[in-house]
Amino acid sequence: MKKQSMVIIIAIVIIGVGVVIYFITQGTKTENANQNNNQAQLVTNSVSNTSDAATQENTYIGDDFTLLKPADWMQSQISGTLVSFHNSNEVQPEGSAARKINFKSYMAVSFDMTNERLLPEINDFLIAQIKASFPSAELTASTDETADGQPAKFNVFTMSQQEVDITVLLAVIYKGDKYYTISGNSTTDKWTEYKDMFYQTARSFIFNN
C-alpha cells in the first residue's frame, strides 16, 4: 500500500478542523463550479412521482460509484478525495470550540489499491495508522457490513482536535483490487443527530461496474 495514498486517507478522516475549514471559508467559487458539475451528473431519466424525483436529486453519480448524498448538504472537492459533502448551514453552539474554528460536519469518499491485502488486514492497518497519527483517537465500534453486496467494515472513532471533540464513521468497502473509504465526521455533541444519515449514506454505496 503506497505511503502517499495512506497519508491522504488518514487526512480525510480528520480533515474537518483543517483543510475543510479552509475550503468552506475560501472555496465558494469551487463549490459553485462543483454544484454545476453535480447537476450534470444527476440521473436524467424521467421520474413518475415526487418521491422518485427527491431520490434523483439526492443521488451522486461518480465514474466508479453511486451513492445517496446527504440532503441539502453542499458538494465540495477536497484534494485527494473523489467527492465530499459538508453541511454549510450548520451552526455550532455559541462560545464552543467548534464555533471558534467554524467546524462543519462533512462526508468524504476516497479510494486506494488493495495491493493483494484482504479487507481485515486493510481495516486493521487503517485503525492502527489513525491511532498512531492521533493519540486522542479511540475506536468505539467496529462492525462487519456489506455495501452493494461487497464486504465492508464500519468503524467509529472519537478524538479531540483543537479542543473540539469529534466522532468519525470510517466505512471501508472492498471490491477486487480497490477499496473505498467513506468518512462521516461531526462534533461528538451532534453525532446522534448525524449517525443514521452517515450509516445510510455509506450503505447506499453502489459500484458502477
pLDDT digits (tens, 9 = 90+) for 2-21: 444 444 455 555 444 444 44
Helix residue ranges per DSSP H, the chain = 3-13, 19-26, 28-41, 50-57, 97-100, 119-133, 191-203
Confidence class of residue 29 from pLDDT cuts 50, 70 and 90?
Answer: very low
Query: Does residue 107 contact residue 35 with C-beta atoms inside 8 Å?
Result: no
CA 16/CA 108 separation, integer angstroms: 10
- pTM score, whole prediction: 0.79
Domain 3-207: CATH superfamily, name plus number: Mog1/PsbP, alpha/beta/alpha sandwich (3.40.1000.10)
More confident: 12 or 206: 206
pLDDT value for 169: 94
More confident: 34 or 83: 83
Give residue-wise pLDDT tens across range 111-164: 889 999 999 999 998 998 888 888 889 999 999 999 999 999 999 999 988 888
Give residue-wise pLDDT tens across range 30-80: 444 444 444 434 433 433 344 454 456 789 999 999 999 998 999 987 777
Q: Kindly list the domain boundaries of the chain, sorted by start residue.
A: 3-207
Q: If DSSP codes are grouped into helix, strand and coil, which group holds residue 204? A: coil
pLDDT value for 152: 97
More confident: 28 or 120: 120
In the chain, % of residues over pLDDT 90: 52
CA 88/CA 106 separation, integer angstroms: 9
Max CA distance (Å), the chain: 51
